[in-house]
Amino acid sequence: MTTETQTTATDTTTTDTTTTSTDTSLLQSGSTATTTTTTEAGPHDWLPEKYRVTNEAGEIDEAASTRKLADAYRSLESKLGKGATLTAPEKPEDYKITAPLVDGKPMEGLDVDEFMKDPMFQGIAKDAHAAGIPNEHMQFFMEKWLQHAPELLQAEKQLTIDEASKELSAMWTDEATFKGNLSKANRATTEFSKGIAADQPGSFDRLDKKFGNDPDFVALMARIGAESKFGEDTPPGSAAAVSDVDIEALQKSEAYWKPEHPDHAKVKAQVSAFYTQKFGTAPHR
């Protein structure tokens, strides 16, 4: 009896993936039958394509390719910092932040140790750790925040009464004018906020809390108060009818200089009354 042994040779085959021409989308091509087999790994598959260097014969030069890969690694390390891991630290408390550089020097006035003890930073560190954020990324975002924080805080800063008074005093130079314009500003704000509950937008309380020491707002309301007078019976020629900031504009107007102007007498009386009250004498022309 002859025993015939049949041996099946196992050949290495290549991957062959095909789709039929009837597919109308990539999604639909997923239902197309494919034939997939594996390929044997090549000796240089470990080396990314972009780091492969070939010699004159067209073969991969392993030494040159390895140097190219090492150079790329050193370049990446210099950008990330020596010892960069790109992994989250073991605990949120292990995040380490250094002061950002401003003009090549560490930011002045920043105590990094105190900053990292701040509850705000500790809360961010806890969330970052839970999200798996590495220390290098935390450093990047904290640097950006710290560099812009002074601008953000300045935008929210409100002046004190003394700071606001100093700025307005440069425009309202004597005490009588200063107090008079503050009275006008208060009266205008009070009138415009009448009937509005204290906790509602536009109320005096909310306007005062937000703009009470804002020189721009106070000056604007003083101008409105001077223009509106809110029912006060102020004689046209009195000094109260104009403020210190208006008088220069009145003196430059055509009504002041041209007798034929219909408001000439009125404006002249206003200017004259202003100077008489303030200096004891009318202006000279």
Say whether pLDDT at 271 is over 50: yes
Say whether pLDDT at 57 is over 70: yes
Say whether pLDDT at 239 is over 80: no
Task: Give, to the nearest 10 degrees, the angle between helix 175-192 and helix 215-228.
Answer: 80
Say whether pLDDT at 193 is over 70: yes
| pLDDT top residue among 72 and 230 | 72
- Calculate the alpha carbon distances from 161 to 105, 208, 249 in Å: 36, 12, 29
What is the distance between the alpha carbons of residues 97 and 139, in angstroms, rounded to a whole number? 6
What proportion of the chain, given as a percentage, has pLDDT over 90? 7
Alpha carbon dihedral 52, 55, 59, 62, in 10-degree steps, equals -50
Average pLDDT, stretch 28-55? Answer: 64
Q: What is the pLDDT of residues 75-108, one digit of tens each?
A: 665 655 555 567 888 999 999 988 888 888 888 8
> pTM for this structure?
0.34
What's phi and psi for 10, nearest 5 deg? -100, 110
Other C-beta atoms within 10 Å of 166: how many? 12
What is the distance between the alpha carbons of residues 216 and 159, in angstroms, rounded to a whole number? 11
| pLDDT top residue among 104 and 203 | 203
Element (H or E) spanning 44, and its range?
none
What is the distance between the alpha carbons of residues 178 and 172, in angstroms, rounded to a whole number? 5
CA angle in degrees (0–180, nearest 5) for 223-225-228: 105
